[in-house]
Amino acid sequence: MLGAVTHPLVIVPGIGGSGPEHWQSRWEAALPGTVRIAPGSWDEPDLSDWVAAIERAVASTPARPVLVAHSLGCLAVAHWAVETDAASARIAGAFLVAPPDPAGPEFPSAAVAGGFTLPLGPLGIPATVLASSDDPYAELAWSAAAAAGWGAGFIDLGARGHVNAASGLGEWPEGLQLLEDAATTARRAAGPPAA
């Protein structure tokens, strides 16, 4: 069973919405106070709709949440961060797992039609990108470069496929520990709260 986390989570799945065996869905079921975004469609994603869904989810949390994104959700979070004034004051951080390369051969045509692109420049929020060395949706070097461009930390997970249900991660307790480690690092970097 998963342990407690010290802040609310906002789950931002990729295309299809992360089914019941996906680690995101398991975290949502196991961790009280976790919220999942609710866009108009998981299968026909529209970037502006997903960004608005992130905004609604963040506004619904009682404390500053950590955005926990997977795949296409990472690009939505990146756009939300770039487009939102003072995003860093509204969230504790972003945990971006297996972002896809929009120029890659496997990038979904529905995501192209929905306007999903790679936002360029620093996100302005505490963020960590986690990537797999054998992800069909992005080369590891691309993921590391995207993290650097966003001003995010980077973690090489080794060979974990697309870090989804097919990767056999179950509840992915190691991922939850990485999330906690990243959040602790972000808190230290931010310094003590203002009096």
Tell me the pLDDT tens digit for each residue of 161-171. Answer: 999 999 999 99
130-145 mean pLDDT: 98
Domains by residue range for the chain, with CATH: 9-189 (3.40.50.1820)
Tell me the pLDDT tens digit for each residue of 97-130. Answer: 999 999 999 999 999 999 999 998 999 999 999 9
8 A C-beta contact, residue 129 and residue 146: yes
8 A C-beta contact, residue 11 and residue 24: yes
What was the pLDDT predicted at 86? 78
User: Taking the complete model, does pTM exceed 0.75, yes or no?
Assistant: yes
8 A C-beta contact, residue 11 and residue 37: yes
What was the pLDDT predicted at 113? 97
What was the pLDDT predicted at 7? 85
Among 109, 64, 111, CA closest to 88: 64
8 A C-beta contact, residue 123 and residue 78: yes
Report the greatest alpha carbon distance in the chain.
Answer: 50
8 A C-beta contact, residue 32 and residue 12: no
pLDDT band at 188 (very low <50, low <70, confident <90, very high): low
Does residue 131 sit in helix, strand or coil? Answer: strand
- The kind and range of the H/E element at 26 are helix 23-30
- Give the Cα separation of 49 and 45 in Å (integer): 8
Tell me the pLDDT tens digit for each residue of 11-67. Answer: 999 999 999 999 999 999 999 999 999 999 999 999 999 999 999 999 999 999 999
With 70 as the cut, is the pLDDT of residue 195 above it?
A: no
